[in-house]
A and B are shown apart, each in its own frame.
Chain A
């Protein structure tokens, strides 16, 4: 989003603070080696829908900070053996996000955090199991301001769950809404 010139600190005074919420959705492509069982035939799907929810605090300088979550299906595969089945690997990230504008409309986002990962297995019975993985994200967005409070952005984002070696790239359309200012 554009750097809010009015928000930059004047000498001796603090600028305007605001809270902005981002909601977006799009499509993700799984970049890492998906990893499938070696002893059974399988068919992998790397492309899945994804969604993001992010809240950012805009202080009176370049650097912004916030929290991000969302939901994404990292990858899935169908087991095509004597018994058929399928596996879906889903993640809910919870990330501390730092952001900076680099031009009037282009922003970068990056930060560490964790991923709550769920694997859903339907093979010889159903099993849903969970784990947590440390990870990080990085993203770049181009925002078109609709008005003072709302902007529409296109974002490209990399999610990396470090411990489970899951990496995805997503393209999303996002809506930003400045819902609080003081």
Chain B
């Protein structure tokens, strides 16, 4: 009898401790052929000519019928690494690969990931001389339908690639009405098991590979007033490694956080200064939305905004930094800033508030729908309208094809990029 009651207890406890740990570790992409001494970086004109819409002639059941290829880069000092991203609509999949020239062929090496789940794997492709490489490597590549065939293999997890994938060039990417593709939380959410923690320096560098042209950063202040990047209002195990510290992040000084707190993937919580430095020096991102997650003075954020806008201008970089105002409290603090109506801002409140503070951007929540009339009204005033935070594939498609927004903030910038670039 005692035994049976104990079993009930054990069973209940076992049921309630059953949490599958989900992970999507980036696979090891070592490929001796790709790293061989004869393999050289791809020339600029080859990279640019490769961009386009490709038909998936083999592997469509896994990645969909059509994909988008776009290049981005990460700069580290004098070294610049170029990444070719493949954006898919099916399961919000993407590839990120590097390219090299070996003889008269092009090799592509990297990995793929599906963001709806945790599937990932190695990806290795090549473009043969007669499948477009010769044309791509010429000084003035002329690319037309079916002129590039990228073929190769993809694997699952750490397994060697054994599944065939063939992509055939169809047409260039859409270059009509511009759209700001904004990545949420500096690039992506921790809950999507990205390679880096959300709101980390690594994620800022990674955002372009996900198709982002800009990022949103969540800004909070430490107890001693240092602007840092952190989304939630408390230290919690969703975002940080366990260390016994709990409660509001504003309770801690920057020195305490910097010494004792690590983000979920081991990174330190970055300061806003470090983040803007990274945007400026390591990426080609040209829009930064500082989402104000606190209701204290905005002076320190404003000072950093001004400083980095000035630095960008001095470097000849096209960079916009706006202070995001999600609520009445932040709006009131914003109005305390000197000359607030000349400070670039993104206001999530009503279009009237947008006019009141002369915000550059009106940013309504996506759950209000397209609001085409209001969007056009705001645009007629010389402002832009960005919608947040739109993640549902069918609605992303509808917002891009039926709406007039100038920008979309999403946890899935790769999917926004897909639907935008496939427009005709």
Contacts and interface: CB of A to CB of B under 8 A. Distances in A.
Q: Do A and B bind each other?
A: yes
B306 interface: no
Interface in A9-65: 33-40
Interface residues of A, number: 42
Given A39-B259, A103-B2, A123-B260, A129 B242 contact: no
Interface in B198-248: 223, 234-237, 241-248
Nearest to B16: A136
Contacts of B259: 37, 39-40, 81, 83, 123-124
Contact of A108 (B5, B244, B261, B262): B5
Contact of B256 (A75, A77, A121, A131): A121
Interface in A77-108: 77, 79, 81, 83, 87-89, 100, 102-103, 106, 108
Interface in B240-295: 241-248, 251-253, 255-256, 259-262, 266
Nearest to A32: B242
B1 interface: yes
Contacts of A103: 1-2
Nearest to A35: B242
A3 interface: no
A171 B6 CA distance: 17
A87 B256 CA distance: 12
A167 to B, nearest CB: 9
A125 B256 contact: yes
A119 B247 contact: yes
B339 interface: no
A36 B234 CA distance: 18
B4 to A, nearest CB: 9
Interface string A122-141: 01110111110000101010
B9 interface: yes
A81 B243 CA distance: 15
B12 interface: yes
Contacts of A125: 253, 255-256
B253 A124 contact: yes
Contacts of B16: 136
Contacts of B252: 121, 127, 129
A165 interface: yes
A52 to B, nearest CB: 18
Given A108-B9, A124-B255, A131-B236, A36 B243 contact: yes
Interface in B1-38: 1-2, 5-6, 9, 12-13, 16
A127 B266 contact: no
Contacts of A33: 242
Contacts of A108: 5-6, 9
Given A35-B241, A37-B262, A129 B248 contact: yes
Nearest to B262: A38
A127 B259 CA distance: 14
B237 A165 contact: yes
Contact of B237 (A110, A123, A164): A164
A38 B114 CA distance: 30
A163 interface: yes
B281 to A, nearest CB: 25
B5 A127 contact: no
Most chain A beta-carbon contacts within 10 A, residue among B234, B241, B260: B260
A34 B244 contact: yes
Contacts of A121: 245, 252, 256, 260
A159 interface: no
A111 B11 CA distance: 14
A36 B240 CA distance: 11
B245 A102 contact: no
Given A123-B256, A136-B16, A129 B2 contact: no
A169 interface: no
Nearest to A38: B262
Contacts of B235: 129, 131
Contacts of A130: 246-247
Given A38-B266, A39-B262, A165 B256 contact: no
Nearest to A117: B246
Contact of A124 (B236, B256, B262): B256
7 contacts: A123-B256, A123-B260, A124-B255, A129-B248, A129-B252, A138-B9, A138-B12
Closest 9 CB pairs of A and B: A129-B247, A35-B242, A131-B246, A129-B251, A37-B260, A124-B255, A89-B244, A102-B5, A87-B244
